[in-house]
A and B are shown apart, each in its own frame.
Chain A
């Protein structure tokens, strides 16, 4: 068990692994007939691979890697729209580094930058605000990207810009929400999910009740988890215990960070600045109703879509994925990354073809990054 050495303190992990194995045996799940447990968050996907948790847990558990990597689900048409804004001469386009290599239909942001667009990687939307203050003659656009964890930061930045009357700052909003794709996946008759490990930091913002429908409407357990390896194992144990007991509840393993009702300041800022779009496109999953946010009319001056006449859907949709790309099937758990014909050939972290190879939170990149160590261990 090579991966065990990776734990700073392997004893508690061993104890939890033994408990998980006992419960899975009680349920009677096996490698041939496994329990399918989806970790929703890309940070969890990364941690599972880093620590080899999928290899350490009982073979009767199969992890399905969920859609919780905001970079991975960004559709190609949206990347095109973003580049169209970034290439305007008056624009300074600011973005998190993660988004730089996401392929659009023609190019990525990094290619657009090489071709001369003024694109700058920033750590925070606050950096973009500061750039706007320092460059009053330019239009500073921030690429608002991410789930509920990062949504408050752009909402608060827009509020700050409005208070200051900073007219040359705007946000290109691509914020998405976690619950709707989970509902979409659960509504898919081909999908066989037995339980969920819920995202910790998203829940820190929204609390645990937005997941009530998973238990109440679909009868599946979900446990909100921290991302330290022991947190993940404990959460998996809580999920399989619920399955064994025939319970379907929303439980909170990460209560030391996640308040039941979330963070009120964040929730208020999101509600003040954003509203639901009727639908939003997810790479690999298609259009999902009420799954993405847009900036409210009251903050129209800070909405890059309105400012530059881009809107949502100016680029032709739905853009086909590259020939043979299996991102959609991997994202819905129908195929392992290694089953994609491009994996490790036409598609590598250095030259990603599909979005799941772009960020360390994408399932394909995680497989690729830890594949070598894994092969050595097997």
Chain B
């Protein structure tokens, strides 16, 4: 039977799961130490459970989840690759895991060195001048980048300019971050091959444009073949070019954003650099910039002093300021650093070679069964359309649900927006041929079922802990309260 208990339902009065050592300092009642108005009249209603209850409860809950450690997880644009357990060991070293962020710098030189060296490695990987490790997520990286672009124009031209150009295939966070930074968004069309429409770019590119924000490879899994021309066109008008680095897993060691003419790039350490991604984070979205933008980097910035030691630099008068508490999601920085050091330059290049190879293999196997609106070769992911299946009443959503019954997590669906009934599949480099073949077999089975037995798809999923949910109702009226029976 499906396990559906809440920890509160396991509670039994008086049961405890902890023991405190005897106090070795004189004891006083809390009423002698604190004014009565600050003290509870009744104890909080916390669950009273044993240690064994807690272990069993959360283990069973964890078994209800699909995760990258349990299943193939081809969620496009999310790079759900294996997270090496070595990273976990490194991040748990006591000198990292138990270090207080406000420890004096002289006593935290190891952590500062890790941050400084990671920043240097990411700068080398991206071809940028400097990388800030502050942003806690990809979207915060975007906001950081756009705020720096704003500060750059303000310093240079005494005006921030007014517009940012964003292709219609962009991640939804791009226009959101840009609007928060105070810019008007102008949407650029994709051309018939799925790349930026150069004529549309030319039409909109004027001296009010602060930046073009573009994802490379784009969300259709395609490399923008005219990217050098695009970055040059922007620079001619004094506009900067921002690269959304969410898809960097396709180009490690192959192409560097800095060499392609980008001025700003954010990376998702929780995608390309294997920090855990499944539970909603914490993420890490470092931002790399060219030299002209260095004065505007957030504070504090990790710098190397003349003696070779790393320290936090707060004295940056043109900085956009501080983005979050402390110095970035340090645990994620430690994991990404372990990954980069484990892989080395050749290993990172092999990551992208294999990510691209896997995606193209998968694309070729599925191409006879699903429409491919923008033909490959693709980079690290491919985007199919379920419009053929839709003629039989089977949507991309239905296919995604059926996959769950067949033992696979679903691809991204209905994204990018430029593809009708989109199924965006990213196998990553860490999956074996056997796993990719099994997934393809399942997708082919579903394509056949769509023609012969669509009802079996429309009822899916039947094997998961919960069936089809009213996601809109769940998002708008979440029921998060439990009341004691």
Say whether A and B bind each other: no
Which B residues contact A (CB, under 8 angstroms)? none
